[in-house]
Structure 1
Amino acid sequence: MMQPPVRYAPSVEVIDPEEEQTHRALNDAFDMILERTAEDYGHAVRSVHAKSHGILEGEMTIDADLPPHLAQGLFATPGTHRVMIRLSTNAGDILPDAISLPRGLAMKVYGVDGERLPGAEGRTQDFVMVNGPVFQAKTAEKFLGNLKLLARTTDRMEGGKKVVSAVLRGVHNALDAIGTRITAVDSLGGAPNVEPLGETFHSATPFRYGEHIAKFALVPVAPAQVALTGKVIDIAGREDAIREEVRAEMRDPDAVWEFRVQLCRDLEKQPV
């Protein structure tokens, strides 16, 4: 029998004693990326997921018959909300698509009522996801190490990145052939250049979900999208091949995703 969902309480989160210091160092690394790219491009860009492949407008429909443990927060009220979706690649610099990195999807939901964080304004709620089920680092401290490396190479050594990416794609394919995946390989350039409209996107980390704790996924279900799942884009001679493909694919068919929720049911097996 499935265990009941864990009830949210502040005590469920395991916080490292050095976490505040780590957060300050993360902000410093993000600032380094922002300052370097702004200087090189002559204008500001995002410190991560700088390159956009497409912005889509659509609707989110919330079913009226959700069970209580799923009818939480935004999803407690049936209805339809306008949404905007941005597809991106995770680097802080705007790279040619020959350097293949994990994809990101950000979804902004409009017209959301309810309690907000202190200082927050408006009536929107954001969901930020990547096309991998787990985060690239187990702890904030380990992610900081990855980010420092990213900051040092942001907008530098583009030719070297292309070579490394080609090698790591080969490593990814070899691991995939034996049913293994190493997140770090993908995050450093080994992610295959797959069609983003056919990808499943995950929150990768847990979030509070009303009275519970959950991870999220956005899964393509329209036949035209499912047909694109796993399809590799030919990027030869095309710096913006992914953007071109998304634009072409969205001219005719509608895209439909299913929003899925995985509730935490065992804090030992699903630690926060």
Structure 2
Amino acid sequence: MSYLSYRDDLEQPRPDEEQIIDKIIAVLRDNNERAYRKYKRGLRDAHAKSHGILRGELTVPAGLAPELAQGMFATPATYPVIARLSSTSGVIRSDQLRGVRGLGIKVLGVPGTRALPDDEASTQDFIMVTHREFLFADAHAYLTKGMPTAWALARLPDAALRTGSDLVAALNTHVLRRIGRSVPPNLGVFVAPNTHILGETFYSSAPLRYGDYVAKLLYTPVSPEVTALRGEAVDADAGVNAHQNLIVDFFAEHSATYELRAQLCTDTATMPIEDATVPWPEDDSPHRTVATIRFDVQDPYTPARRAYGDDVLSFNSWRGLDAHRPLGSINRLKKRVYEASSNYRHDVNNAPRLEPRDATELPP
């Protein structure tokens, strides 16, 4: 199989992209300030509510195929990992609501040339969500289609969102499916069942450089205890912090293993760089395992750990190796949006902004 070689000219930004991103940042700053007035502390403008902060290890195995042995995966090694599980809303909501879940993975002690010239850390961040493709093609689509949704979601109460989600789900099940239609993807995330977060598969959604190639990533459960949780419905009586409680209860008795898998790009005609909504065909290039991530028994949500994960840590897929530099319009948007949000949150909370050098920096 022939894989696309990475080139600097694979990306083709719109001429007005920076101005578009400026407008998005302004709206999200307004959401940040509104959340601060409500909660009396700064929140992320996405992934505001965490459900667990985990300490683990990522292992790159020996014997990867040459096209997979790239960047931080080029050499067999084991790295400490800090991971944060979250919901993607920019406000604190009940875990009973349907929606997208998020995963931030911070790999520690990764040497190499950095994606950002002023980045002096030695961490590699991967940010992943539970929808395989991004909901909007590029920054322009996010501004025109995504921002009205983001504005509304920052203001609607849980009860209204629950009612709207149930109505959309009913419409999708009883009307649209009968005529071979489905709700738009940006509404489809509110139709999917609310299932156990530890059984979810997470995706990078947008592409990144993969050494000499280009790839998308996924993270999926493989040990029996977590594969058994795939599709397991969250009990409607489990409360507003159901995901947190499920994670704490699970890791009180069990360990968990996940695989990180890469899907290499073969052709930008069928696997575009700039349009993040287009599915990359698995038949052309399947996801293949490049590492395992293991979490042992632990308490993932002590008060000190929660404070460290929510107030001190920041996750940004641009914080990492140049060999894994994010690609495409959505990732260029995230570069500036995540930085602006992190700066605001740390400033108003008067919290240190630190990149851990050792997993022991994560409180017990």
Q: Which amino acid aligns with 2:100?
A: P
What's the offset of the Cα at 1:100? 1.5
- Correspondent of 2:51 among 40, 49, 53: 53
Q: Which has the higher contact order (CA 8 A, sep 6+)?
A: 2
- CA distance in 2 between counterparts of 1:79 and 1:251 reads 28
Q: After the TM superposition, which segments of 4 or more aligned residues of structure 1 sit over 4 Å from their partners?
A: 171-182
Alignment partner, residue 89 of structure 2: 91
Check conservation: 2:96, 2:234, Cα contact below 8 A.
no
Which segments of 5 or more consecutive residues in structure 2 lack a partner in the other structure? 274-364
Give the match's secondary structure for 2:163. helix
Give the match's secondary structure for 1:170. helix
Alignment partner, residue 107 of structure 2: 109
What's the offset of the Cα at 1:99? 2.2
Check conservation: 1:219, 1:258, Cα contact below 8 A.
yes
- CA distance in 2 between counterparts of 1:61 and 1:217 reads 15
In the superposition, the TM-score normalised over structure 1's length comes to 0.92
Alignment partner, residue 65 of structure 1: 63
Q: Percent identity, please.
A: 35
CA RMSD of aligned residues (A): 2.0
Pair 1:153–1:61, CA change in 2 (3 A): closer
Alignment partner, residue 157 of structure 1: 157
Which segments of 5 or more consecutive residues in structure 1 lack a partner in the other structure? none
Alignment partner, residue 133 of structure 1: 132
In the superposition, the TM-score normalised over structure 2's length comes to 0.70
Check conservation: 1:172, 1:185, Cα contact below 8 A.
no
Check conservation: 1:97, 1:235, Cα contact below 8 A.
no
Give the match's secondary structure for 2:256. coil
- CA distance in 2 between counterparts of 1:170 and 1:194 reads 18
**Cα displacement string for residues 189-248 of structure 1 (whole angstroms, at most 9, x for unaligned residues):** 323211111111100000111111100000100111111101110133611111111111
Alignment partner, residue 75 of structure 2: 77
Pair 1:186–1:236, CA change in 2 (3 A): farther
Give the count of matched residue pairs.
269
Check conservation: 2:89, 2:153, Cα contact below 8 A.
no
**Cα displacement string for residues 154-183 of structure 1 (whole angstroms, at most 9, x for unaligned residues):** 144332112112223435656789896852
Pair 1:15–1:135, CA change in 2 (3 A): same
Q: Which moved more, 1:160-169 or 1:191-200?
A: 160-169
Give the match's secondary structure for 1:256. strand
Pair 1:58–1:172, CA change in 2 (3 A): farther
Pair 1:191–1:115, CA change in 2 (3 A): same
Q: Which amino acid aligns with 1:168?
A: V
- CA distance in 1 between counterparts of 2:173 and 2:228 reads 20
